[in-house]
Amino acid sequence: MNDIQKSELIRRRRSVRTFDETPLREDDSRKIMDFANMLQNPYDVKIEWKLLSAEKNGLSSPVIAGTDAFIAGKMLRVEHAEEAFGYSFEKVVLFAESLGVGTTWIAGTMNRAAFEKAVGLAEDEVMPCVSPLGYAAKKMSLKEIMMRKGIGADKRMDFGELFFDGSFDKPLSPEAAGKLRLPLEMVRLAPSAVNKQPWRVIVEGGKAHFYEKRSKGYLSPDGWDLQKIDLGIALCHFELGAEEAGLKPSFSIEDPGIDSGELVYIASYSVSE
């Protein structure tokens, strides 16, 4: 992601819905697609990326104005597809930010049938989200301002509400987090659907165990869990923050058996120096 620190990209990025109508530069589109196509994720789920034109493909979103370019990803509907997509798409989003290209995650506010047709979606495939690509307008539209205000887009929960020391009855302070302070802070700043921030993390002996706090309305009857995409974003942010802090994060799916109530175990990272 160029020479910009990942933490700086995470801190400065915001969702962009109002663009300045400048066509996406060919050099930027090539760099973004090259980056996306070389990505790997901890689950080894293959994602196929498509760069789409709204005009050519008949695409639209009621919340987007001023750009013709969109990026979409599709994959087989397999176990951990949600987390893999969230992890990978967030890396694409942050890379675009490093180029000065604006993005926003879109899952519902689009003519989904047209997007799925444009990417050639098969029956056993899923296209979880798309994002516009373009250059932010100098001023947000009134619609964008109201949307951000409505979901509290610039607000995040406190450190101790999201992170815990050994068990869920002991909040973790930034000071007590030690070497994990930066990666956990990057998790705290992660974007999520309607800003629900569904991740909870227990730190235990050099390990960070990630759990999902589910909200109603995000789990479909067929088991597709939109909030697991958010957990994939959180995993991405933790890994990037750990690497920036000079740590070596190692991914695993090994439930530590901690009493988590209704929370759902997702994955763990072990970190070493």
Query: Distance (Å, rounded) from C-alpha 132 to C-alpha 234?
Result: 21
Model pLDDT for residues 97-134, shown as the tens digit of each residue:
999 999 999 998 899 999 999 999 999 999 999 999 99
Q: What is the pLDDT of residue 153?
A: 60
**Is pLDDT at 15 greater than 90 in this prediction?**
yes
Residue 153 backbone zone (phi > 0: left; psi -120 to 50: alpha; other: beta): alpha
Model pLDDT for residues 82-93, shown as the tens digit of each residue:
999 999 999 999
Q: How far is CA 157 from the centre of its chain?
A: 17
Which whole-number Å values give the CA distances from 8 to 4, 14, 145, 168, in the listed order?
Answer: 7, 12, 23, 30
Backbone angles phi, psi at 189, to 5 degrees: -85, 0
Range with the poorest average pLDDT among 19-23, 124-128, 139-143, 191-195: 139-143
Over the chain, what is the mean pLDDT?
94
Model pLDDT for residues 251-272, shown as the tens digit of each residue:
999 999 999 999 999 999 999 9
DSSP letter, residue 180: G
Q: What is the pLDDT of residue 155?
A: 83
- pLDDT band for position 1 (50/70/90)? low
Range with the poorest average pLDDT among 18-22, 51-55, 141-145: 141-145
Q: What is the pLDDT of residue 260?
A: 94
Model pLDDT for residues 214-251, shown as the tens digit of each residue:
998 888 877 789 999 999 999 999 999 999 999 999 99
Query: Distance (Å, rounded) from C-alpha 70 to C-alpha 72?
Result: 7
Per the listing, tokens 């994720």 go with 41
Residue-level length of the chain? 273
Query: Distance (Å, rounded) from C-alpha 258 to C-alpha 264?
Result: 11
- pLDDT band for position 146 (50/70/90)? confident
Q: What is the pLDDT of residue 218?
A: 81
| Cβ neighbours, 10 Å, residue 201 | 25
Domains plus CATH for the chain?
6-143 (3.40.109.10), 159-272 (3.40.109.30)
Backbone angles phi, psi at 90, to 5 degrees: -65, -35
Name the CA dihedral angle for 4, 5, 10, 15, rounded to a multiple of 10 degrees: 0
| Mean pLDDT within 134-155 | 77
What is the SS3 assignment for 128? coil
Query: Distance (Å, rounded) from C-alpha 266 to C-alpha 250?
Result: 15
